[in-house]
A = this chain, B = another copy of it.
Amino acid sequence: MSASAPPCRGRKPLEQAQIDARRAQVLEAAADCFRRSGFHSASMAAISKAAGMSTGHIYHYFENKEAIIAALVERDSDELNDVLNSFRAQSDFLQAMIDGVDEGLARANRQDRAALKMEILAEAARNPKIASMLRDADRRALDGFCSSLRAAYAARGADDACDLEAKVVLVGALFNGLIGRTVFSPTRDCPALAKTMRRAIAAILSDDDGAATAAVPR
């Protein structure tokens, strides 16, 4: 009400920054609700309450509930790109991936993130639009990792590594599989896990695909 007092700038439409802030505010609230109740059991009333605004007003920022879900999925998908970029910023991309294990595990182990991730995957299984978003984000991340990896192998003088995409997919799967566990059984901090994980990643990324590797260990 009195909040609409003009800053001398008249009754101009809220600047884009304002709008973005509001959207972020809703998104944050929605993420909380969705984590707790899932996409479909979280009511718009609950979201609006958590966001500190009226139900009706949310519809100024999002066309409907599905749009909120989509925006959240988008936001979540961006995160992997951040990780990619942080690896790229380091001198040795390969080593960065292995060194990133500890932080990766810590992320995988956060209940709230895990819950939302599972919610998103479940939604993707039934909502083609969401599936498509995930597919695109996945494509981008895969390409990014592959190109950086290719460069890393080259710098190391290795042959152009074969089956790069399969490698990246598997490293990703390792983390995502752990995220899945988190929802029912958060892993306590575990050095053994990190160590074994590093070894697994190293094995996946290594390029010597000698026949022996498929044999039983020792």
Contacts and interface: CB of A to CB of B under 8 A. Distances in A.
Contact of A126 (B38, B121, B162): B38
Contacts of A36: 126
Interface string A5-29: 0000000000000000000000000
A119 interface: yes
**Residue with the greatest number of chain B CB neighbours at <10 A, chosen from A174, A196, A209, A218:** A196
A124 B179 CA distance: 13
Given A121-B180, A169-B178, A173-B181, 14 more contacts: A38-B40, A95-B216, A130-B184, A163-B192, A170-B196, A170-B200, A173-B176, A175-B177, A176-B177, A177-B178, A199-B203, A206-B217, A208-B217, A208-B218
Query: Interface residues of A toward B: which range?
Result: 35 or more
Taken together, the copies of this chain in the complex come to 4
Contacts of A215: 202
